[in-house]
Structure 1
């Protein structure tokens, strides 16, 4: 038996979990018609196959019709959910992985104009800042029906064969009773702590009446809301003791904080540039106080921290949820002695941020996550070895090289710079985003391990490429900043890249015109504002940094507000001209003939990139496909067979920003789905 603390079995009631690693409840927004169908099942089964002991689904499954999901959640109030959950559970069980599901009523954490347009309900009329619906204050008949809904949903899950359920009690309906900030009811469900907890215990008793005493029931809750007037740490300890002593729950899954604002949610589930495992010690205190099964997850992204959490007795089961989105095979790699090959979570939060904007969760680092039905996590070998030349060692080029090498091809990479990384290396110069370099380091390490040949400081031209005698050429040269957006004065502006790279020093009074809305503008603003310069960010959009999603925006906002940066929306930079020793910027509006002026000493423009594609067009005439991509084949996962030039000596493709300015995920997704069938 392994001596690794992570691989000691753990017995929870009648259930023996084969190791201490779990995936906590989360909703990747993969359901179809509210059901966990094939995409959902494939996502969880991939992680079960790799050896995780427990996977928890749904964050959270809705128990009531008046709890409409604000993004794509499982509808646990529908009877048809039983069959879909059983199919997923059975397949995970085939791999020795236990399955649980989280159930909830969202209360005020939703909107009234979703689904059936029923009133939002809560323990007060207080609106949640994030979702903005003013709730109806709950009545006795609401309480009775929602308790019954919880019990019915639990029974459905028991019928589906899941190993247990977890109730969600932070920011949702249940916690809205707990917190003095969101409960203005009179007795029996409002007032002192006994009354505020009554709904929870009434619900738990109703569930036990339906599912019996043997079925596993736990609760995920905030042990400290970290809000003035909210539940305190002392309150959380008392709640923890009462939950244990009730005999109605089998485990505690502890979080710390609140989720009613973007900033609060981000502190509870930290993102890139924030402290790792910030609430682990707090969860350990609850376990020490209660001596009761305790689970926890919150930016525990590396195996060493997870191992420490178990070895030190802070937790019984440790959640590595986003880490398993980045690499579903963590457990298998540890068992094979390949811990150093785990694809690291970089905290980019492309998963959570996307679902809160209505998309499905994707991993910036791993384009196969959520696409298990279409894209492989393990790359299949090719039947025929080919010679593949990749131009550019940014994220797109490195992914193309990695996948090609995994296919068994001979791979040569030419990179103009001293080091791999492309735009990511520039991004990682900002201390708060330095984790991004792991995207590059991991791919470079994998390529080196598989024998990819790299030529750095090699500004490849057509002659260089043709001298390699390639079968396939993949151009991943990225792009360069585009700043030619002004009617007058383009030569007087600098790019966000100029600031980030250090090629241009920040001015004293700076106008940043952000017409791309991505990270580069924000990072330039942070660097400029940190010098003490007067800084204004301007955008023609209704909101600034529109491509940086809510949770990822939080750390930037804290820095920029601290430096008193000015945010100006709905205005457009038109012209810049010299005036004395400074610059006069003229700004206009898409809304009508209004102009204003700004006197500054520096104008910074962030307008994305334009493809660096000269080499691609030089290589096209001698390629067999003339650079053409069969999109149907690309989407269906079939090889590229287009021939437009019988005399062509190689296939030619371009990927990433060498095609058009997009993002890192798009670049590596381009590479994976193209090269996996070469």
Structure 2
């Protein structure tokens, strides 16, 4: 990782900030050095970029970035589809009018627009959409997408080369500023790599032969495209694999394309994408990886080319982005996931509000629930929720009880609306369960969710009262118009015979004292809590055995992080048992416990012995104050679901002058961070 020398925004006047300097590629002038790269947002409508898709990108353009790229893995031909949808279909003329509308929308805000066009090759799914067999330079199988590919013949090559050209021409007709192709694990890159190209004809063997297909593609695009538009390549600079492309190989390939004049920009990526773990640690690194893990390597690549270089890979903060531009490592810095967290990044820099940028914490939730940021619920929901909250016409007094993620978001949104807000928090600091989650090393960056909201509440003048366990009388004494109960929950243990012998993940994470001995962790949710606590105990030297009710580890966790957890369990030798649920824990002598499990499929019983048993099965609502307030509220605590889902204010009913009462987050039911914050925002944004 590059050594980042942090430079505050105050060190640069706006007109001197490296990030805010314009950049010119051919005839295109980009207004600054910040961009967002192509990705599959899964917001298409039948393969077309319609209103929802366009609005998602429009918010970034409104937010001030210079270039937004879209259409990750957009298909150029009918045998380039994957399962589950999410791809744009550039193999049809039907897309052109939607691209025209899209480009007008983005250009209207002063930003440029480019699309990724690609053929998946062996990554295609042969069992969905058109049910066509996957094809590739040679017969092989990709681990992640699972298809067995057939070897392409010359007819396939000619057909797909033409398809690339036709897709590019549709982008030109759509008014776009350019396109990029994709190497990496996609078809062009499959020809490049000795891992996937075993041919002995003119398309295999030497580097010159392996690049032939890519050259043909780019020649066809340029022929159909013209010279005035930008033709980029999302370019792999190192496959980080013994049998794959080395950095030197990739430099040689890049030099060929540069020499032939067939590329205007290299958008650099690192590593493979044919397994989930490669995707999670290399191609799209998340919280388990350091910030900007490949920036130095990309900077080295840039020293070998005269062409502009773009790059995205966990560049989440402005200090790192500014360093990358200032030191000449990149020409454009791509902050793709950071823009899901906050599409207003550039505007905030220009206003001198860099410290107000909502941070990307690297949770990879956006890879799990596509473009839904773990703590920006408006991301991907731009047709329903605003990225910039407008003030209310009526000022109200709002009391929020509970300062976890849901309560903090409710207080923030209400204060942005202009309401007078009081927030009661029983603990000595806000944060709720996230403060515990951050005790596990694997999840420490989640603290950004709390820190950002706490700073925003201070800016907005919210009356935050910590160390206050608010009763119904305390709430009523504030003479509220609206009360929002976000008191969270407590560990759910009442279901277990022998729970008094056990500890919860809260008990483990809330203490600074290291544990020892042999410990059983029972995971009854498949969420982060059981897994991260197991790793936390292992780091303390405990012998830990995780037992889960599910058929695999971390069933509810985002798929990329799930692979990281599995790798960590394997590396550390942590034992795990699947398909068992805990039914009883009993004392077995002075220093031993017996945990009895039942197999989910067979019903067989299994006894396991350990010195400690730690249980995790979510939370049960801590909602006493809500029930104490119900009878005195105008709506008896009922949240109208039609209004909530429709984005309209809650209907006014009941006694005039009485307060409106709602509860959100885990005070309703045990859920995840995103669900709690989303619920808070959509309720409060129309208050």
TM range (shorter): over 0.9
Following TM superposition, by how much is the alpha carbon of 1:648 offset from its aligned partner in structure 2, in angstroms?
6.8
Deviates more, 1:530-539 or 1:202-211: 530-539
1:493 and 2:502 matched: yes
Residue 125 (structure 1) shift = 2.1
Alpha-carbon distance change, 162 to 80 in structure 1, aligned in 2, over 3 angstroms: same
Q: Which residue of 2 aligns with 1:512?
A: 521
Cα distance in 2 for partners of 1:544, 1:554 equals: 9
| Whole-Å separation in 2 of the counterparts to 1:133 and 1:374 | 37
- SS of 1:295's partner is strand
Q: Is the 8 A contact 1:507 1:602 kept in 2?
A: no
Alignment map for 1:656-675 (pairs within 5 Å)? 656-675=665-684
The 3-state SS of whatever aligns with 1:437 is helix
- Aligned pairs for 1:140-289 within 5 A: 140-268=154-282, 269-289=284-304
- What residue number does 1:357 align with? none
In the alignment, structure 1 residue 128 sits paired with structure 2 residue 113 = no
Counterparts of 1:616 and 1:43 in 2: how far apart (Å)? 36
Quick check: 1:563 aligned with 2:577?
A: no
Q: Check the 8 A contact 1:100/1:165 in 2, yes or no.
A: yes
On the 8 A contact 2:630/2:661 being kept in 1, the answer is: yes
Q: Which residue of 1 aligns with 2:600?
A: 590
2:74 aligned residue:
61
User: SS where residue 303 of structure 2 aligns?
Assistant: helix
**Cα distance in 1, alignment partners of residues 293 and 117 from structure 2:** 26
Query: 2: CA distance between counterparts of 1:544 and 1:88?
Result: 41
Residues 311-352 of structure 1 show CA distances to partners (whole Å, capped at 9, x for unaligned) of 111111110111111000111111111111111111111111
TM normalised by structure 2 equals 0.96
Is the contact between residue 571 and residue 587 of structure 1 (CA under 8 Å) also seen in structure 2? yes
Give the conservation status (yes or no) of the 8 Å contact 2:56–2:382: yes
Q: What residue is the counterpart of 2:10 in the other structure?
A: none
Check whether the contact 2:422–2:464 (CA below 8 A) recurs between aligned residues. Answer: yes
Task: Give SS of 1:2's match.
Answer: helix
Q: Contact 1:28 / 1:351 at 8 angstroms: preserved in 2?
A: no
Provide closer, same or farther for how the CA distance between residues 619 and 203 of structure 1 changes in structure 2, counting only shifts above 3 A.
same
Q: Which residue of 2 aligns with 1:602?
A: 612
CA distances 1:380-404 after superposition (whole Å, capped 9, x unpaired): 1111111100001111111111111
Deviation at 1:189, TM superposition (A): 1.1
Match of 1:363 in 2: 373
1:266-345 matched pairs, under 5 angstroms: 266-268=280-282, 269-345=284-360
User: CA deviation digits over 1:254-293, x for unaligned, max 9?
Assistant: 1111111111111222111421011111111111111211
- 1:503 deviation in Å? 7.7
Indicate the residue corresponding to 1:538 in structure 2.
547
- Matched with 1:398 is 408
Question: Please, which moves more after superposition, 117-126 or 454-463?
Answer: 117-126
Using the alignment, how far apart are the partners of 1:211 and 1:12 within structure 2? 16
Residue 15 (str. 1) matches residue 32 (str. 2): no
Give the Cα–Cα distance (whole angstroms) in 2 for the partners of residues 587 and 655 of structure 1. 34
User: What 5-or-longer segments of structure 2 have no aligned partner?
Assistant: 1-13
The Cα of 1:596 is off from its aligned counterpart by 2.1
Report how far residue 642 of structure 1 moved.
4.3
Q: Distance in 2 between matches of 1:124 and 1:499?
A: 52
Secondary structure, in 3 states, of the residue corresponding to 2:211?
helix
Secondary structure of 1:59's aligned partner: strand
Work out whether 1:388 is the aligned partner of 2:401.
no
Structure 1, unaligned stretches of length 5 or more? 355-359
Q: Counterparts of 1:533 and 1:402 in 2: how far apart (Å)? A: 41
The aligned residue for residue 3 of structure 1 is: 16
Q: What is the rounded CA distance, in whole Å, between the counterparts of 1:329 and 1:625 in structure 2?
A: 36
- Looking at structure 2, the residues matched to 428 and 222 of structure 1 have their Cα atoms a distance apart, in angstroms, of 34
Matched, 1:92 2:101: no
Q: After TM superposition, where is structure 1 displaced by more than 6 Å over at least 4 residues in a row?
A: none
- Asked if structure 2 preserves the Cα contact closer than 8 Å seen for 1:538 and 1:544, the reply is no
Q: Aligned pair 1:573/2:588, yes or no?
A: no
Q: C-alpha distance in 2, partners of 1:287/1:534?
A: 47
Tell me whether 1:102 sits opposite 2:111 in the alignment: no
* Counterpart contact for 2:79–2:124, Cα < 8 Å: no
- 1:617–1:165 Cα change, 3 Å: same
The answer to whether the Cα contact below 8 Å between 2:442 and 2:532 also exists between their aligned partners in 1 is no
Kindly indicate whether the alpha-carbon contact (under 8 Å) linking 1:587 and 1:597 is maintained by their aligned counterparts in 2: yes
| Distance (Å, rounded) in 2 between the aligned partners of 1:191 and 1:275 | 36
Deviation at 1:572? Answer: 2.1
Per the TM alignment, residue 214 of structure 1 is displaced from its structure 2 partner at its CA by 2.3
Structure 2 distance, partners of 1:299, 1:120, is 31
Q: In the TM superposition, what whole-angstrom CA distance separates every residue of 1:135-175 from its partner, at most 9, and x where no partner exists?
A: 11222211111111111101111110100000011111111
Q: Distance in 2 between matches of 1:363 and 1:171?
A: 26
CA RMSD of aligned residues (A): 1.4
Whether the aligned pair in 1 keeps the contact of 2:441 and 2:536 (CA below 8 Å) is no
Selected match of 1:114 from 106, 128, 133: 128
Deviation at 1:307, TM superposition (A): 1.0
In the alignment of these two chains, the number of paired residues is 671
CA distance in 1, matches of 2:657, 2:364: 43
Q: Contact 2:365–2:374 (CA<8 Å) still a contact in 1?
A: yes
**How far off is 1:598 after superposition?**
1.2
